[in-house]
């Protein structure tokens, strides 16, 4: 082989190696779910989970772009598209093998809410089954209630719709996150719904498409653990309380 051909081969190998290291920015998807993820007045995605994700990727040196979409569309895209992640995804046994996981970002509780003047004094889940309950289509909470025998579960595509339905009497109870429902009411200038009780603690994480390299998942989980030990996540949580 001539020296000229040898150099051509070496240059081709170098170019190929460099190209393989140039991964496209990660597509990160989320939903309108305050205070964890939401749009501010400048149409920028912000919120508690968003700030945790941004700090996590900054520390890990990951290039990314965040987009806010309806939950069902974001969930389906993450399952079916490489180089995609979704937050804040409730980590359940049913979803465990569908994604690769980084988290938890935050821990929350599911709760049942009524209007501030509601006479209902429900304190346990079974007693709520006889009432129309508002839920969010495609949400892990709604799926859980369905498995528990909530036949009067009424689903919509936006949690903000549930606030309106609670106020106009279309539903008697609103199943939501302990922080989510009060935050939405505050944003809409409405009276805070009355939380009757909480019934399940859930971990909300980053769910990655299954094709994501294990090395990246490990690196992000290790980085998140350092952030947790340094008190970064607690500081951000206090910011949104």
Averaged pLDDT, 150-170: 95
Does the pLDDT of residue 97 top 60, yes or no? Answer: yes
Q: Looking at residue 158, what is its pLDDT? A: 87
Q: For residues 197 and 112, is the Cβ–Cβ distance under 8 A?
A: yes
- Any idea which residue has 């806010």 for tokens? 68
Q: For residues 37 and 30, is the Cβ–Cβ distance under 8 A?
A: yes
What's the pLDDT tens digit per position in 126-135? 999 999 999 9
Averaged pLDDT, 17-27: 59
Same fold, 24-107+204-239 and 109-201: yes
Q: Looking at residue 241, what is its pLDDT? A: 78
Domain limits, the chain: 24-107+204-239, 109-201
Q: Looking at residue 240, what is its pLDDT? A: 86
For domain 24-107+204-239, the question of CATH label 3.40.50.150 is answered with no
Q: Looking at residue 23, what is its pLDDT? A: 62
Q: Exposed (0-12), middle (13-18) or buried (19+): which is 118, by Cβ within 10 Å? A: middle
pTM for the full predicted model: 0.83
Does the pLDDT of residue 27 top 90, yes or no? Answer: yes
CATH topology for 109-201?
Answer: D-Maltodextrin-Binding Protein; domain 2 (3.40.190)
Q: Exposed (0-12), middle (13-18) or buried (19+): which is 2, by Cβ within 10 Å? A: exposed
Does the pLDDT of residue 3 top 60, yes or no? Answer: no
Does the pLDDT of residue 22 top 70, yes or no? Answer: no
């Amino acid at each position: 082989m001539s020296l000229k051909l040898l150099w051509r081969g070496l240059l081709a190998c170098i170019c190929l190696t460099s190209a393989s290291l140039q991964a496209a920015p990660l597509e990160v998807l989320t939903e309108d779910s305050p205070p964890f993820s939401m749009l501010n007045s400048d149409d920028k995605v912000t919120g508690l989970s968003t700030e945790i994700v941004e700090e996590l990727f900054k520390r890990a040196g990951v290039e990314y772009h965040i987009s806010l979409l309806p939950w069902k569309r974001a969930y389906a895209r993450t399952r079916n598209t490489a180089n995609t992640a979704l937050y804040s995804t409730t980590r359940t046994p049913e979803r465990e093998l569908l994604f690769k996981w980084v988290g938890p970002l935050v821990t929350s509780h599911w709760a049942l809410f009524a209007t501030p003047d509601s006479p209902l004094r429900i304190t346990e889940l079974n007693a709520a089954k006889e009432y129309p309950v508002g839920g969010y289509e495609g949400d892990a909470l709604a799926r859980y209630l369905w498995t528990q025998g909530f036949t009067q579960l009424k689903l919509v595509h936006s949690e903000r719709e549930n606030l309106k339905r609670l106020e106009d009497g279309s539903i008697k109870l609103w199943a939501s996150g302990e922080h989510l429902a009060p935050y939405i009411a505050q944003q809409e200038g409405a009276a805070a719904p009355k939380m009757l009780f909480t019934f399940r603690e859930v971990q909300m994480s980053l769910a990655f498409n299954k094709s994501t390299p294990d090395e990246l998942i490990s690196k992000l989980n290790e980085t998140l653990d350092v952030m947790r030990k340094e008190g970064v996540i607690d500081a951000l949580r206090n910011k949104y309380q």
